[in-house]
Structures are given as structure tokens and as C-alpha cells.
């Protein structure tokens, strides 16, 4: 599993790059604060449900959660399902908020 830092993601977003961001947190967490990712909770991924993100299978996908743990699990699961370029956002939204705020 590859990783990517909040700084790298923010730099790419500010440069106008279109990123495939997937938020594996719960809906309430996503509603509270997110960086524009598609909400696809970890439970769906663990249930092998990739509807809505399966078109990204051969593209870079950056997965994030609160701290990086759930997204790490999601990355491993997505790789076993054939996703070829998944990256875990190190430190998740906690690291993002600590570095950039909301």
C-alpha cells in the first residue's frame, strides 16, 4: 500500500488537479468536515461493495478517514479487489486539520 501526505494532496488540489478522493468514514463524520471525497464507508468496502467507485479501478485513488487506520484497511481491501493504484492519506483528517485547519 502506498501513502500520500496531507501536504501532497493539498498542493495537488491547489494546482487544480482532479483527484479521486474516497472518504471511508461514516456519513456524520463526512458531513462534519471533508475535503471533497466521495463518501464510501469502510463497511461497504469490507462487504465488497464498490458501486460508485469501481470506475476508478485503474486510476489513482486517495483514501482517507479520521486517522488513517480505516483508510489503511480500505486500501488493502481495494487492492485485493483489483484496484491498481490506491494511496492512504497518512494521518487522515486529524493530520489535515492539524496542518491546515478546516
Q: Which residues are catalytic?
A: 65
Q: Yes or no: say if 47 and 53 are a contact pair by the CB < 8 Å rule.
A: no
| Residue 58 grid cell | 485503474
DSSP string, 2-70: EEE-HHHHHHHHHTT----EEE-S-HHHHHH--SSPEE--HHHHHTT--TTTGGGTTSEEEEE-SSSHH
Cα–Cα distances (Å) from 32 to 4, 22, 66, in that order, read 23, 16, 11
Amino acid at each position: 500500500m502506498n501513502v500520500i501526505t496531507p501536504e501532497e494532496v493539498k498542493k495537488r488540489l491547489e494546482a487544480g488537479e482532479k483527484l479521486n478522493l474516497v472518504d471511508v468514514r461514516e456519513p456524520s463524520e463526512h458531513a462534519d468536515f471533508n475535503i471533497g471525497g466521495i463518501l464510501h464507508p469502510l463497511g461497504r468496502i469490507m462487504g465488497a461493495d464498490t458501486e460508485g467507485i469501481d470506475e476508478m479501478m485503474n486510476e489513482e485513488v486517495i483514501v482517507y478517514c479520521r486517522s488513517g487506520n480505516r483508510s489503511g484497511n480500505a486500501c488493502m481491501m481495494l487492492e485485493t479487489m483489483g484496484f491498481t493504484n490506491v494511496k492512504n492519506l497518512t494521518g487522515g483528517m486529524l493530520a489535515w486539520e492539524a496542518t491546515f485547519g478546516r
